[in-house]
Structure 1
Amino acid sequence: MAYKDPLTEAKNRHALEIFFEEFNSSKDNNAKTTQLLILDVDYFKKINDQFGHEVGDLILVEFSSLLRKHVGKDNAYRIGGEEFLVTLQNTSPLDACEFAENLRESIEKHEFKVADNTITLTVSIGISELKRGMEFNAFLRNADQNLYLAKNQGRNIVRHDGGPCPEMS
Structure 2
Amino acid sequence: MARMTGSWLSGPTAALPKDDHEVGRYRGEKLGLPESGPGAAAGSGRRVLALVIDWAISVGVASLLVRGDWTGGVINTVALILWFVVGVGTVSLFAFTPGQFAVGIGVARVDRPVPVGFVRALARQVLLVFVVPALITDHDGRGMHDRATGTMLIRSR
**Higher helix fraction (1 or 2):** 2
Same fold (TM over 0.5): no
* Greater radius of gyration (CA): 2
TM-score using structure 2 length: 0.28
**Higher strand fraction (1 or 2):** 1
TM-score using structure 1 length: 0.27
